[in-house]
Amino acid sequence: MSVNSITIIGGGNLGKAIAEGLIASKFVKPNQITITRRNTTTLDYLKKQGVKISSDNKTAVKNASIVLLCVKPFQTKEIVKEISKSIDAKQIIVSVVSGVTIHDLETEIGKKTTIFRAMPNTAIAIKQSMTCISYKGASSAQIKTIEDLFNTLGKTITIDEKLMDASTILGACGTAFAMRYIRANIQAGIEIGFDASTARLIAAQTVKGAAQLLIENNSHPEAEIDKVTTPKGVTITGLNQMEHHGLSSSVIKGITEAYKKMNP
Ligand SMILES: NC(=O)c1ccc[n+]([C@@H]2O[C@H](COP(=O)([O-])OP(=O)(O)OC[C@H]3O[C@@H](n4cnc5c(N)ncnc54)[C@H](OP(=O)(O)O)[C@@H]3O)[C@@H](O)[C@H]2O)c1
């Protein structure tokens, strides 16, 4: 199916990141994107690039091929109610809102529409997101359109909707978890002699390279670790010290506790 225009409802962290990614990927032209929020001043930089800015959700969704819902969970019900009359059966609704199900959205819209859920992360702004999608009742042309959209913004996989909360923790919160690991490397890097800026570059590029090794070699982390651990060497000493202080355990605990917080 052809995509004439995309409307992003909620120009916050994620909404802006998606708009930036869509511009960078050339999936659509900037003037085919409309982005809304109540206070539009922080969207001026997108307006300068040709994106349409609005605080009128009802008008913004009319005739859009795809409507992306990027608001906070507690704002969703009211906003969906507001736009539901302006939505028709041809449009695709994509919600990135965590914790709000396709069934919740169907009930709120109250008429036949095609609804996708997507769980990207903020690396979508630089076309490096991991995006998990799920859908109900979509045609193969609609599925291809949404996969194409998110594939231009990183990697995309389809998951069962019941795994959406798990993908929120592993994929979306995962960006923050990875940042803390990198920050710890920077702090240690400064202690062993680098200035902050050099430590940041070394830490970030090293983590990026390690992740790329796993993706390109389709390998297990432990196989890559075996390649760099010399018997009695410094790498294994460092790794074992980290494990004595609970590295793997604290990461697993953080992820599982965050998941429990979403599913009390
Ligand atoms: N951040 C992430 O990495 C991430 C990843 C995956 C999924 N998500 C999900 O994405 C959603 C948005 O997260 P976020 O971090 O981008 O939140 P955010 O920065 O608070 O963005 C929400 C935006 O919605 C706007 N908004 C509120 N009421 C509105 C209305 N009536 N009409 C139009 N816009 C309205 C707000 O702007 P105004 O107050 O100016 O209207 C705000 O800019 C959440 O549901 C979150 O669970 C986030």
For residue 250, being part of any structural domain is answered with: yes
Q: Are residues 134 and 24 in the same domain?
A: yes
Number of domains in the chain: 2
Q: Are residues 141 and 55 in the same domain?
A: yes
Q: Are 70 and 57 a contacting pair, CB within 8 Å?
A: no
Q: Are residues 153 and 215 in the same domain?
A: no
Q: Is the pLDDT of residue 3 over 90?
A: no
Q: Are residues 80 and 190 in the same domain?
A: no
Q: What is the pLDDT of residue 235?
A: 98
Domain boundary among 159, 185, 208: 159
172 lines ligand 1 (CB under 6 A): yes
Encode pLDDT of 204-216 as tens digits.
999 999 999 999 9
Q: Are residues 95 and 172 in the same domain?
A: no
Q: What is the CATH number of the domain that holds 214?
A: 1.10.3730.10
For residue 197, being part of any structural domain is answered with: yes
The closest residue, in CA terms, to atom 44 on ligand 1 is 72
Q: Are residues 123 and 140 in the same domain?
A: yes
The closest residue, in CA terms, to atom 19 on ligand 1 is 12
For residue 1, being part of any structural domain is answered with: no
Cα(254) to centroid of ligand 1, in Å? 24
Q: Are residues 68 and 197 in the same domain?
A: no
For residue 143, being part of any structural domain is answered with: yes
- Other beta carbons within 10 angstroms of residue 92's beta carbon come to 24
Confidence of residue 184 (pLDDT cuts 50, 70, 90): very high
229 lines ligand 1 (CB under 6 A): no
Domain boundaries, position 68: 6-159
Q: Are residues 19 and 38 in the same domain?
A: yes
Q: Of ligand 1's atoms, which has the minimum distance to the CA of residue 173?
A: 3
The closest residue, in CA terms, to atom 29 on ligand 1 is 37
Buried b vs exposed e over 210-249: b needs ≥16 C-beta within 10 Å? eeeeeeeeeeeeeeeeeeebeeeeeeeeeeeeeeeeeeee
Encode pLDDT of 33-67 as tens digits.
999 999 999 999 999 999 999 999 999 999 899 99
Q: CA 108: distance to chain centroid?
A: 24
54 lines ligand 1 (CB under 6 A): no
Domain boundary among 129, 159, 189: 159
Encode pLDDT of 54-108 as tens digits.
999 999 999 899 999 999 999 999 999 999 999 998 899 999 999 999 999 999 9
Cα(94) to centroid of ligand 1, in Å? 14
Average pLDDT over every residue of 222-250: 98
For residue 244, being part of any structural domain is answered with: yes
Q: Are residues 11 and 107 in the same domain?
A: yes
The pTM of the full predicted model, rounded to 2 decimals, is 0.92
Q: Is the pLDDT of residue 147 over 90?
A: yes
Domain boundary among 159, 185, 216: 159
Q: Are residues 228 and 124 in the same domain?
A: no
Cα(147) to centroid of ligand 1, in Å? 22
Q: Are residues 39 and 136 in the same domain?
A: yes
Question: Edge-to-edge strands of the sheet including 154-158?
Answer: 52-54, 33-36, 6-9, 66-69, 92-95, 114-119, 129-136, 154-158
Q: What is the pLDDT of residue 112?
A: 86
Confidence of residue 263 (pLDDT cuts 50, 70, 90): confident
For residue 92, being part of any structural domain is answered with: yes
Q: What is the CATH number of the domain that holds 100?
A: 3.40.50.720
Q: Are residues 27 and 152 in the same domain?
A: yes
For residue 65, being part of any structural domain is answered with: yes
Q: What is the pLDDT of residue 244?
A: 98
